[in-house]
Structure 1
Amino acid sequence: MKDSPKEDDFAKKEVSKNLLGEDSTAKQDATTDDSKRRALSDFPRYLWSVALGAGFFGMGLTLAILGLALPTLAVNLNLTIDDLSLVLIARGGGYIVGSFIAGILESKFDFHILAAIFLLVMGIGVVLTPVILNVASFYICTALSSLGMGGYETVANVLCLYLWGKKSEPVLQFLHFWFCFGSAMTPFLSKSFLNQVVHNASHSVNSSATASMASSPNITYIENTTVPLVSVPYFIIAGFLTLVIISLLLLKCFASLDSTKSQDENTIEQEGTRYRYGILILIFWLFFFMSGFQVTMFTFLYKFGITESPGLAYSRDVSADLNAMFFITVVVGQFLAIFWSQKFSPAKILTADFIGVGIGSVLLLLYPLYFEAAPILFWITIGLIGFSGTSIYACIFLWTNQYITINGSAAAVFIFGAAVGEMVLPIPVGFLIEEHVLSFLYFCSGYTFTLILIFLLTVKFAQTKGQRLSQNNPDEEDKLKAEECLADQKIPETVI
């Protein structure tokens, strides 16, 4: 007897339910397996992030040790600080060269190996610096260590984006936190190995004036050796960098990860040359003024503190405390940025940062009006600028990556702008601060307002085309969701 149409339809529905149920269960099992797989695949990324953070910590130590050890190194060379005043240009030039070398090599060499190579170059420069015998060697060693810093920063920033994709916000903030922390820890590491230096009331270590040194012109050596005592912190930093290099090489051997370079190169073609170059030029100037402003601030803050009215007329100890407070707020701000980046977009964090820095800059301009009545307000102003400005660097990286692909060449452009700003923008303040101490406040405020204006122009230009499509740079979770959607669309076809 032939089945009725109703019975036949009922049988088909039952079969469909069974098939859908089995497929749904299979999908749930597959999703669970994929979740476990993603958790396991993320573990090597965490290892790489910790290793990169250790490299940033070593880079912070390397960058900060120069200013602290410069008076002692000048005594060892039987010179004055004036004679070594070109060291900032040598350091900035090395930074630029290292960044561009990294940008050129990123398409030819593995980024994981490049990071270790640039750390090795940095370590060689660090080891040789305190044992040099003449000015030329001192400049060469400084440029060599800076070359390693510029190359490593370029490689590590881009490698972080490659490893984490759209999840890179807190990781990149984490890396830059360790850089700030390393800079803040350097005085504690090195102060026991530096010569005692006495300055006139109107001079500081960072000014171009000649310092009068109370220590003996003879070199202070490590006991029973011919190695200068100032070499100890340098050797400690070099030893730490060696451990980081070994860690990176071990991770390369046992926890190697694939990057998305070829995929990113395809997205570059989609962005358009004119649009991409326009953003790169604007971001270059952003980094130029941002880094130049920050270097000007912490280079001449001590000088402003010890200068008599209209300066602060503080003692050396109080001025040093003002500098320490500035760096502490920088470290705290960078630490909190790790958590803020998980809840807020880079654009929102940048907006808050620029508002804070802008308010601080206005308060700098108003300094003559309130200092006698409320001197604590100046300390609050410096703390606000340090706290607000610390996360701008990483946030600009992350924000720009939403509009164009950040590869090694793009990162090199950014770091080139930062290095040039560090060399150029402090120069007018250095020339004027001796006779016009308030020029320090005026230039810092001018640099900040220019920075905010360029950022607004950059936002306006970037919005002409909009953010990149998420499928241009998907992470594993996005791919999984896409596969599930496709599976949902195909199931009814197989059942029918």
Structure 2
Amino acid sequence: TYILLVSLFLFILYSKSRPNQSSGKASDEKFRTAKYHNAVIFLLFLFFFCYVGAEVAYGSYIYTYAINREIDANKAAGLNSLFWGVFAAVRGLAICFATCLYPGTMLLLSVIGCTLSTLILVLFNESLFLLWAGTAVYGASMATTFPSGFSWVQQYTTIGGKSASLFVVGAALGEMAIPASVGYLQGMFPTVPVLLYTALASSTMTAVLFPVMYKLATAQQDQARYNRVESDDRR
């Protein structure tokens, strides 16, 4: 069911046309490859590395973190269930959101939500209520990041098999490296909220990467618009 929801979500996002794409196939093909294609692909590789790594780390270690805070085992398990439950529910609802929101908008909202929720979790890590609320918001914010990011980049440049495989490799490396690092550090410093710091660091990294990726991805279109304006002014 989960794979079906993700596949359907990606299909809807991919099928949704941008307004400026209706001018014709020739214009669309002209800007199909971004000026800084390789840079955008590499930055998105890092983006998925941080995102997937943080997602798996939080889902894997929030129970351990709660136990270290001397929270009841049942409540700690409920906290873990809350994260994944909200994550799955919002990813399912995102199929509906994709019909009225562009991938870039959804990705921006996800990045903002992740950054704000993890910042609150770190600043108010002693508050049990904010731990529950922050976990729910964090799970909801992460739900659409991967499919939205993949669909967003396809609006500006062609994603072939090599590029797509690079995204998967980045996600897989993040899934292995970040949770392992969190587990090791959490064992060494059980009184330090390593998990929350890692989530905040990953969210901050994605918040920095996204505007840079957007600027590079749209550089060719911005240059084309500038040239058209200059040409019109000369006339």
Q: Same fold (TM over 0.5)?
A: yes
With CA pairs under 8 Å and 6+ residues apart, which has the higher RCO, 1 or 2? 2
List per-residue Cα deviations over 1:462-496 (Å, max 9, x = no partner): 121139x9xxxxxxxxxxxxxxxxxxxxxxxxxxx
Whole-Å separation in 1 of the counterparts to 2:17 and 2:162 = 19
Whole-Å separation in 2 of the counterparts to 1:165 and 1:350 = 14
Alignment of 1:58-457 (within 5 A): 160=11, 166-167=15-16, 267=29, 271=33, 275-307=36-68, 311=69, 313-368=70-125, 370-371=126-127, 375-437=128-190, 438-457=193-212
The alpha-carbon deviation at position 397 of structure 1 amounts to 1.0
List per-residue Cα deviations over 1:278-336 (Å, max 9, x = no partner): 211111111111101101111111110111xxx2x122222111111111110221122
Specify the structure having the higher radius of gyration (Cα): 1
Q: Is the 1:288–1:420 contact (alpha carbons within 8 Å) kept by the matching residues of 2?
A: yes
1:252 corresponds to which residue? Answer: none
What is the root-mean-square deviation in Å for CA atoms of aligned residues?
A: 3.0
TM value normalised by structure 2: 0.80
The alpha-carbon deviation at position 275 of structure 1 amounts to 2.1
Runs of 4+ in 1 over 6 A off after TM superposition: none
Q: Is the 2:63–2:76 contact (alpha carbons within 8 Å) kept by the matching residues of 1?
A: yes
Q: Secondary structure at the match of 1:426?
A: helix
Match for 1:56: what amino acid? I
Distance 1:433 1:397, change over 3 A: same
Q: Is the 2:37–2:217 contact (alpha carbons within 8 Å) kept by the matching residues of 1?
A: no
Q: Is the 1:267–1:405 contact (alpha carbons within 8 Å) kept by the matching residues of 2?
A: no
The alpha-carbon deviation at position 394 of structure 1 amounts to 0.7
Q: Secondary structure at the match of 1:397?
A: helix
Instruction: Tell me how many residue pairs correspond in the alignment.
Output: 212
Match for 1:385: what amino acid? Y
Whole-Å separation in 2 of the counterparts to 1:349 and 1:165 = 13
Identity %: 25
The alpha-carbon deviation at position 434 of structure 1 amounts to 2.0
Whole-Å separation in 2 of the counterparts to 1:443 and 1:334 = 23
Match for 1:283: what amino acid? L
Segments of structure 2 that go 5 or more residues without pairing to the other structure are: 19-24, 225-235
Alignment of 1:18-33 (within 5 A): none
Q: Secondary structure at the match of 1:271?
A: coil
2:3 corresponds to which residue? Answer: 56
Whole-Å separation in 2 of the counterparts to 1:300 and 1:323 = 8
Segments of structure 1 that go 5 or more residues without pairing to the other structure are: 1-53, 61-152, 170-262, 470-496
Match for 2:15: what amino acid? K
Q: Is the 1:334–1:390 contact (alpha carbons within 8 Å) kept by the matching residues of 2?
A: yes
The alpha-carbon deviation at position 410 of structure 1 amounts to 2.0
Per residue, is there more helix in 1 or in 2? 2
Whole-Å separation in 1 of the counterparts to 2:3 and 2:109 = 25
List per-residue Cα deviations over 1:62-99 (Å, max 9, x = no partner): xxxxxxxxxxxxxxxxxxxxxxxxxxxxxxxxxxxxxx
Q: Secondary structure at the match of 1:406?
A: coil
